Structure 1
């Protein structure tokens, strides 16, 4: 029997399947345990938001796999895991559609000032609000995509349905692949300066950290909108707040904050940006990939990776390459 640690809530069907493999410790809910209490016995971790650093890895002598419930690995020390002979896996594609749709949830909220209108109406200010809410239509506007992986391609498809013009840049994608979706390939600078709506679909690396800084924001069209459903560290939040307060940007929709790199479960105290004080800003708590369908798909893929490792096989979605030690 395998001992498994689950950091955050997952789809109940997946949780039920995990219990057939062995003992499951949960890092959430009424029966939550801190990982340090069980690290000596855990053989598999199904990881969502919790950070898994070198200290936790060093305290896990029997650990064989860290199965990420999602595509990002920012909260895992992959080098430490690899050195310890621990597989790290992800669930590529499992939440692509959910995230792509959330891009438009954020964008439409900004375009039609939905949160402002809904909150004000709930407070009884119907008549006062009505003349203040003048939105804009997406039809005919240019959507710029930085990064053109699975999610960005779905975003492009949805954008065409709104009648938007789509331009995209990704140094790892051939122009023909961009054109096949009906988008136009362009340089990064052309995308940034030409977009009415700029949507980020990039991994967080040393090269992309604060890619969207004060100078980049200044080069965007006056009245443009920024959407980020990728990683918070891509954006210099202080510079973004300034661009919003000064009115250079019409709005920004964020599902991720830079503070998540400090504490993924509670980033607000660590974030540079004060989400309650910045106008034209819509922030959601890293939930773009959280739909029932995506939860089931991601959980199922993570479970499959755990099953493969328990069986002694290489997991199909590994992001590292290890020579795993034998376990008794």
Structure 2
């Protein structure tokens, strides 16, 4: 019987699914690196969220490990190269929290436009400052969307429902798909110059690291509002501070940071035109259950039937296709 370790807190539904599939499962959360290395050799599968770091040392100690499943999208906490060298499949769950994250991006946009957190704090402090908190409407404003995948496309639909004009930059987006989404496909510099609001929905890669830096902010429309509910380090936080402090940007709203958790020494926290949340994009009851279900089902399918779904280091194969390919795969392993 395969055995799986759940190393981070997630919905109890994951445990139920493993039991239903006939897979043994143990839940041990909050393990440090040394403790995890000491026990990881006992398991065929590992289910994590963002807290557990699966680095090369952990993988070297994982003599039986076949699959790591991340309940969520980002796999920054997994050494993909080391896993691939050891033949360990790394999966994520890209669909379980898409709605939740898209809604959070829209919420941040509205909160920044209407200064809701600042007005709340002011009123709770006993002030009634109506004139201080004059905001801007989203209606008929131009929203620039960078990245039009699962989450970005949902943000586009919701923004259109609010009466916004949407332009998009995505080097992988075809003109046909752009037409289906109802967006104008533009170059990056054009998007920066035209967008009243800008939201980014890309993974963190070498190409997107510090995508928003001093020269990027200089190209943005004066008075624009930036939202990032994607990944930390896409935004150069020091450059963002300067753009907000100078007034070139009206406001910014971040859910993710380059260094998390954020402490009080981050200078962005001093700015009145900066709002933030502690990486809450996927933090709804529905999303937590969805990603737990998906990661348990995907790990089970791989351990029991060899079916690969949503892997980041191997092409995914449908179960019916695997039945046709399996004889050739077996032949290849023997030679």
TM exceeding 0.5: yes
Equivalent position SS for 1:232: coil
CA distance in 1, matches of 2:65, 2:75: 17
Alpha-carbon separation, structure 2, partners of 1:177 and 1:79: 32
Determine the structure 2 residue equivalent to 1:310.
303
Are the equivalent residues in 1 in contact too, given 2:5–2:26 (CA < 8 A)?
Answer: yes
Q: Give the Cα separation in 1 of the matches to 2:30 and 2:57.
A: 20
Q: Match for residue 114 of structure 1?
A: 116
- RMSD value, Cα: 2.3
Deviations 1:14-45 (A, max 9, x none): 2333355213132149xxx9423422212211
Q: Give the drift of 1:107.
A: 0.8
Q: Output the CA distance in 1 between the equivalents of 2:210 and 2:95.
A: 25
Matches within 5 A, 1:1-328: 1-18=1-18, 21-28=23-30, 34-49=35-50, 50-125=52-127, 127=128, 129-259=129-259, 266-269=260-263, 273-321=266-314
Match of 2:325 in 1: none
Cα displacement string for residues 247-302 of structure 1 (whole angstroms, at most 9, x for unaligned residues): 1111111111111xxxxxx4325x99434213311111212122222222211111
**Aligned residues between the structures:** 313
Which deviates further from its counterpart, 104-113 or 274-283? 274-283
Q: Does the 8 Å CA contact 1:140/1:165 hold for their aligned counterparts?
A: yes
| Residues 282 and 7 of structure 1: CA distance in aligned 2, closer, same or farther (over 3 Å) | farther
What are structure 2's unaligned runs of at least 5 residues? 316-328
Unaligned runs of 5+ in 1: 260-265
CA distance in 2, matches of 1:311, 1:95: 26
Distance 1:278 1:26 in 2: 40
Deviation at 1:122, TM superposition (A): 2.1
TM-score computed with the length of structure 2 as normaliser: 0.87
Secondary structure of the structure 2 residue equivalent to 1:304 = helix
CA contact (8 A) 1:5 1:27 kept: no
Structure 1 distance, partners of 2:172, 2:243, is 30
Q: Report the equivalent of 1:262.
A: none
Q: Is the 8 A contact 1:64 1:87 kept in 2?
A: yes
Kindly indicate whether the alpha-carbon contact (under 8 Å) linking 1:199 and 1:226 is maintained by their aligned counterparts in 2: yes
Instruction: Please state how far the C-alpha of 1:312 moved relative to its aligned partner.
Output: 4.3
Give per-residue Cα distances to partners, 1:192-245, cap 9 Å, x unaligned.
Answer: 111001111112111111111101001101110111111111111100011111
Contact 2:17 2:297 in 1 (8 A): no
